[in-house]
Structure 1
Amino acid sequence: MPELTEDTTFRHDDWYGEELVDRHFVGCEFFHVDLTEAVTRGAVFTGCTFGNVRFNASRHTDSAFTRCVFKRCNFFEAEFTGCKLVGSTFAQCDLRPLTVDGGDWSFVALPGADLRGVRITGVRMREVDLTGANLTGATVTGVDLSAAQLHSARLTGADLRGSDLTALDPMVVERVGAVIDAEQAVVIAQALGFELR
C-alpha cells in the first residue's frame, strides 16, 4: 500500500535528490521546497498546491499530479514520462527546457506559458488551455490536442507532426515555419473552408 500523507504543509524543506516511490499526497501544500534532481515513481499528488517549488532536473515516471496548482515553480530540465496531470494549473512557472513523454495532460491550464523549445511527445492533451502560450521552436509531436484552446498561441517553427490539430484555427495563431504533415494539411485546409478534390 502506498504511504498516504493528507492535508500537510511542507515549507522550506530540502528534498534534493529524494526518491518518492509509491507515495500518495492528498490536499498537501508545498512552499519553497527543493525537489531538484528528485525522482518520483508511481507517486500520486491529488489536489496539492506547489508554490515556489524547485523541480529542476527532476525525473517523474508513471506518477500523477491531478488537479494540482503550480505557482512560480521552476521546471528547468524536468522530465515527465507516462505521467498524469489531468486538471492541473500552471501559473508564472519557468517551464524551459521541459520534456514530456506520454501520459495524460488533459484539461491542464497553461495560458500564456513560455514553452519555447520544450519537447512534448505522445501525450494526451485534450482540452488543454494554451491560450497565448509561446511554443516557438517546440516539438509537439503525436499529441492529442483535440478541443485544445490555442487562441493567440505562438507556433513559429514548432514541429507539430502527428498531432491532432482539429481545434487549431490557423488564423488566430502565429504559425510561420511550423512543420505539419500532409494529413494535418488536409485538416487545416478544410478548417479554412477549402474543398479538396
Structure 2
Amino acid sequence: MADRVGGRPAAQTESTIRDWDDADPSGQTYRRVLFVDSDLTEVENRGGVFEECTFRGVRFNASTHTDAAFVNCTFVRCSLFDTTFTRCKLVGSLFDDCAHSLMKVTGGDWSFSGLPGADLKGAEFTGVKMREADLTGLRAQKAVLRDLDLSGASLQKADFTGADLRGSDLSTLDPLTVTLKDARIDVTQAMVVAAALGLEVRP
C-alpha cells in the first residue's frame, strides 16, 4: 500500500460492512468502519461523515457527494468513475490503486491527502484546497486542475501533459522533475516557473 502523508499508519477499523446495498449515508456518521466490496453506484450522499474508515474494492461509480466528509479514510482498489465531490472534506485520506476516470471535484478541502501515482486523466478539480497533498507521480494528462491551493504539495515526477493548471499554486513545482508539455498556465504562473528554472524575470 502507498504511504500516507507523513508516514502515518491507517487507523484500525472496529467493524465491517460487506455488500452494502441500498446504501444511504446522507446525514449519517461512520467511524473506523471497513467497507468491503460494496456497490455505491449512483448513491446520492448529502452530509454523510466517514472518519478513519477503509474502503476496499468499493464501487462509487456515478455517485455524488455534497458537503460530505471522508476524514483520514483509506481507499484501496476502489472505482470512482464519474464520481462527483462538491464542497467535501477529504483531509488526510489516501487513495491506493483506485480508478478516477471522469471524477469531478469542486471546492472542499483535500489537504494532506495522498494520491501518489494516481491516474487523473480527464478528471476535473476546481477550487480545491490541497495543501501538502502527496501528488508524487500523478498522471494528470488533459486533466483540469484549476484554482487549486497546492502550497506545500509534493509534485515530483507528476505528468501534467495537456493539463489546465491556470490559477493553481505552483510554488512547490520543480519544472525539471515534472512533465508540462502543452499544459496551460497563466502569466503569474509562468513567472513562477521561470524563477524555478533560475531565470531572471524583468519587465
Normalised by the size of structure 1, how large is the TM-score?
Answer: 0.94
Matches of 2:31 and 2:25, distance apart in 1: 14
1:7-26 alignment runs, 5 A limit: 7-15=14-22, 18-26=23-31
Q: Hey, what's the Cα distance between the residues in 2 that align with 1:76 and 1:67? A: 21
Does the alignment pair 1:75 with 2:73? no
Deviation at 1:97, TM superposition (A): 1.2
Question: Is 1:160 aligned with 2:181?
Answer: no
Where in structure 1 are there 5+ consecutive unaligned residues?
1-5
- In the alignment, which residue of structure 2 is the partner of 1:113? 118
Q: How does 1:176-191 map to 2 (within 5 A)?
A: 176-191=181-196
Q: CA deviation at 1:191?
A: 1.5
Counterpart amino acid of residue 180 in structure 1: I
Q: What is the distance in 2 between the residues matched to 1:105 and 1:68?
A: 11
Secondary structure class of the residue paired with 1:184:
helix
Percent identity of equivalent pairs:
52
Q: Give deviations 1:71-94, integer Å, cap 9, x for gaps.
A: 000001000000000000000101
* 1:1-197 mapped onto 2 (5 Å cutoff): 7-15=14-22, 18-197=23-202
Structure 2 stretches lacking a partner, 5+ long: 1-12
Distance in 1, matches of 2:192 and 2:138, equals 22
More strand by share: 1
**CA–CA distance in 2 between the matches of 1:112 and 1:20?**
29
1:54-112, Cα deviation, whole Å (9 max, x unpaired): 00000000000010000000001000000000000000101111000000001111111
Compute the displacement of 1:133 (Å).
1.2
Shift of residue 23 of structure 1? 0.5
TM-score by length of 2: 0.91
Distance 1:92 1:196 in 2: 41
SS state at 2:166 partner: coil
Runs of 4+ in structure 1 over 2 Å off? none
